[in-house]
Amino acid sequence: MDPGQWLTLVTCAGLLAVGIAASLRMRTSSLAGPLAAVCLISFCWNFAVLAHSLTNDWRWIYFDRAMSPWTVPASLHFVLVFVGKRMRWRWLAAVETVGFGALSVIAAAGFVSRWARLFAVSSAWDNTFAGLVLINTVACSALLARHLWTERSAEERMRTRLVISAVIVGALLAIVELLLHNHIVMPSMLVTLILLTIAAFRLRMFSNELTTLAMLYGISLLVIAGGSSFIVIRTLAPYRVLSWLAILAIGASCLALMIQAARAALEQRARVERLAILGKFSEQMAHDLKNPLAALKGAAQFLAVESKRGVSIAEHSMFLDLLITESEHLSRLIDKYSRLGSVQLSRVPVEINDLVKRLLQVHSVANNRVLATKLDLDDSLPMCSIDEDLAETAIENLLRNATEAMRDGGTLVVRTSVLDGEDEPSVAITIEDSGCGMDARELDQAFNEFFTTKPTGSGLGLPMVKRVVEAHGGSVKISSTLGVGTKVRVVFPVSPGLST
């Protein structure tokens, strides 16, 4: 083999290893899936390039050209997830998928259509592909440059620089190949792979580090797939049909092994999450029920002792009232938990400022750490028709998140204000902390169920807040800067007839 073929073989090996390793982290990192897609798609067409150079079988050309266009929309998806703009720019991803998908379909049609076969290897196809790659590179570079400009974390800025370098270098080498209508000695994905690997593993791009077992599994599959395919190509080159069947069998076997491993990992993760959710739910319920049950027990024991002494229970009416009050409290708690899942509203007129003051007072007593608190309440707030219990649960969750984000102390700011809308005013509650903050990827997933940045978190808090607020017809918005803090604004509409 010549140097170019050896470099392509090394590229294929690296792409397969990183793709498999990343696919095993898809459950725990939003970047793992897009990175795995980029690597595995790139592995397919780089392998086709190598196979064609070794066998001169024309079918590998069309396989290469059918697979390579999908690398570009996959890379855009990776960049959008990296900068936390996946939902905002999803229309761009859809447009690119259609455009590059059309090129892929034309190339795939070359297996059966003479016209498609001629067009797929023409300079027109190459030039069109190169132009679309250039447009994608400009879009990705602009998104990454904006992310680099707004980021304050030195580690995140280094990751971003590496990703920008990977996008630009890989795109320029690919464009040169397409414009020259020939593969150059240095494979375009080799440099890209090196830069992405450094960003992914050396700078911990994933939310959790890869385990040694996952890396060993990826390397094992790499050796099996790469070594077997290379042997097949070298030994069965004269027998094209047998060569293709053998390579497909090897690829299918490795894919089945990878799917089985990923499924086992996902099932294990799901079991752990279910247990964590059950534990957190039980912990919260126990905390809420503990005080009223203790009050009921204490009152009942006192009345029992007094009754044995022959004292009339009527003389201790306050304890009877306590039994009734705490029983009603327990009933409300049970009702709240039963309504929390389906978010069934029981609206009553509520003074938002009074609600915020009461919750903040309870939160301050329950919190052991000393935090500076700043209240900025608008005295002109109208009353809101809301479900008081569910609103309390949502705001308590936001206060708890803000406090937990300030592990080393800080300032908790709570504001209320009136927002004038077209139909009627709304009331906004803003909770701001000066804690650790979130990066763009964490912010993009903040309202996803089971996503959490806390070691013992369940990932259900913010999704619950969103469900409660949206059930009232309101909205919730979160903004955050890593190392600076997070701000959450909850908006409740004022129901007709309750404004003052």
Domain limit, last residue, from 190, 219, 238: 238
The pLDDT score that the predictor gives to residue 42 is 87
Instruction: Identify whether residues 424 and 367 lie together within a single domain.
Output: yes
The whole-angstrom separation of Cα 488 and Cα 405 is: 13
Per-residue pLDDT reduced to its tens digit, 170-197 = 888 888 888 877 655 456 677 777 777 7
- In three-state secondary structure terms, 84 is coil
Name the most confidently modeled range: 82-86, 341-345, 370-374: 82-86
Long-range (24+ apart) CB contacts under 8 A made by 255-262 are 257/221, 258/20, 258/23, 258/221, 261/24, 261/217, 262/23, 262/24, 262/26
Same domain for 389 and 418, yes or no, is: yes
Closest CA to 106 of 134, 158, 71, 65: 65
Residue 406 has pLDDT above 60, yes or no: yes
Task: Say whether both 311 and 391 belong to one domain.
Answer: no
User: Which residue from 351, 364, 440, 427 is spatially nearest to 396, judged by alpha carbons?
Assistant: 364
Residues 357 and 327 occupy one common structural domain: no
Same domain, 400 and 301: no
Same-domain check for residues 188 and 112 = yes
Rounded CA gap, 211 and 232, in Å? 32
Domain-embedded: residue 245: no
16 shares its domain with 39: yes
Question: Are 436 and 390 in a shared domain?
Answer: yes
464 and 362 assigned to the same domain: yes
Give the confidence band of 140 by pLDDT, cuts at 50, 70, 90: very high
Indicate if 290 and 153 belong to the same structural domain.
no
Per the structure, the complete domain to which residue 48 belongs is given by 3-238
- The model's confidence at residue 39, banded by pLDDT at 50, 70 and 90, is confident
460 and 396 inside one domain: yes
Please state the domain count of the chain: 3
| Average pLDDT of span 212-217 | 53
Based on the fold, state whether residues 111 and 11 are members of the same structural domain: yes
CA-to-CA dists, residue 277 to 189, 207, 340, 461, angstroms: 42, 20, 15, 11
